[in-house]
């Protein structure tokens, strides 16, 4: 099989490897589609992912495929099942795992980060990490289960109430997923803040009531103090500033994005005090992957305007560059092509 190994220093190498075999409690997956995540971009630039990365490793943690082998003791899954992978594996023994905060696990491993993942033609994973998809669901959509699961955790933290005005800042794949989940949560009015016209149009296609350009002074002014919930999905200072500007009194601000490790922001302390703001961070997807799969299988989410580019396995540098560019929303790698 072919596997694209990340070697560090912005370098990938496609290698011919044996197809892995399933050990007890494991399954082998024929990988069909794998999304390029913002975390992959951070790792590519030498920054940490959800866990520390030690090259060489096969990245890719947003993926779906078909089970081709099941190991001893696996009874809930069968050869031929279409599955998606929850990449995060928790130790179960640390203080956080034992106190209902497994996402903060001190020894977390992640498929596609610390273990070989989806940027290969086949992978082997613990059966407990594989979730069955509806057979008619496109593999590219199944690969979106992991980002949907992460977004669900953020939505849970946001505490959206039916009738709320929700503003999502950033119209990348995450922002457009958040938009749809906020609508399902009962938001009465949905606004996307995004300077890219293509992404604003995608938001309107997916149900946004308005999509503003934050670089336009008049459009920006119209959003000041307008939202009960603001979900920031960009990770830079202007976006975070917008989050605080757009928040109503009593609002919740969810800082969902993955910023650079050394990123800082001068917290507007008087606004936090006077507006009585609630500020929350959100990390990975504790116990939300099954819910994500149920939403996908039920056809409650759309990715037609989100998945914009597809590449074969041997073009990883181009994949990363495209995911960083303004022309794409979501880049998907197709390992079998």
Which residues carry out catalysis?
Answer: 39, 42
Helices (H) and strands (E) in the chain, counts: 10, 17
Element (H, E) at 119: none
> b or e along 88-126 (b: 16 or more beta carbons within 10 Å of the residue's beta carbon)?
bbbeeebebbeeeebbebeebbbbbbbbbbbbbbbbbbb
State how far Cα 283 lies from the chain centre: 10
Which single residue is written with the structure tokens 């794409």? 328
Which DSSP letter does residue 310 get? E
Give φ, ψ of 136 to 5 degrees.
-85, -10
Instruction: Say if residues 190 and 179 touch (Cβ distance below 8 Å).
Output: yes
Bridge partners of residue 70, in order along the sequence: 27
- For 25: left if phi > 0, alpha if psi spans -120 to 50, otherwise beta; the answer is left
**Separation between Cα atoms, residue 75 and residue 67, nearest integer Å:** 13
Question: How many CB atoms within 10 Å of residue 241?
Answer: 16
CB neighbourhood size of 139 (10 A): 20
- Closest among 253, 323, 262 to 281, alpha carbons compared: 253
| Cis upstream peptide for 296 (omega within 30°) | no
């Amino acid at each position: 099989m072919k596997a694209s190994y990340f070697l560090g220093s912005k370098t990938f190498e496609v290698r011919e490897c044996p197809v892995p075999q399933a050990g007890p409690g494991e399954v082998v997956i024929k990988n069909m589609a794998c999304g390029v995540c913002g975390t992959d971009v951070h790792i590519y630039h030498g920054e940490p992912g959800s866990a520390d990365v030690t090259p060489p490793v096969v990245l890719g943690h947003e993926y779906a495929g078909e089970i081709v082998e099941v190991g001893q003791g696996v009874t809930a899954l069968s050869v031929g099942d279409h599955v998606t992978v929850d990449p995060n594996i928790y130790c179960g023994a640390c203080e956080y795992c034992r106190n209902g905060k497994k996402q903060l696990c001190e020894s977390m491993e992640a498929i596609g980060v610390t273990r070989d993942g989806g940027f290969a033609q086949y992978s082997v994973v613990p059966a407990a990490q594989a979730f069955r998809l509806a057979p008619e669901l496109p593999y590219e959509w199944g690969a979106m289960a992991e980002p949907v699961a992460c977004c669900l955790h953020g939505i849970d933290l946001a505490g959206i109430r039916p009738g709320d005005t929700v503003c999502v800042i950033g119209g990348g794949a995450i922002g457009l997923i958040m938009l749809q989940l906020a609508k399902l949560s009962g938001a009465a009015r949905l606004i996307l803040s995004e300077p890219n016209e293509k992404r604003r149009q995608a938001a309107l296609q997916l149900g946004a009531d308005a999509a503003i350009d934050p670089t336009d002074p008049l459009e920006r002014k119209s959003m000041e103090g307008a939202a009960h919930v603001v979900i920031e999905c960009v990770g830079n200072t202007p976006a975070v500033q917008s989050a605080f500007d757009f928040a109503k009194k009593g609002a919740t601000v969810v800082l969902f994005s993955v910023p650079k490790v050394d990123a800082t922001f001068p917290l507007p302390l008087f606004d936090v005090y006077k507006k009585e703001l609630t500020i929350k961070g959100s990390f990975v997807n504790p116990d939300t992957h099954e819910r994500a799969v149920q939403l996908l299988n039920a056809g409650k989410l759309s990715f037609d305007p989100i998945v914009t580019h597809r590449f074969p396995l041997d073009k990883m540098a181009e994949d990363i560059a495209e995911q960083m560019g303004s022309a794409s929303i979501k880049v998907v790698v197709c390992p079998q092509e």
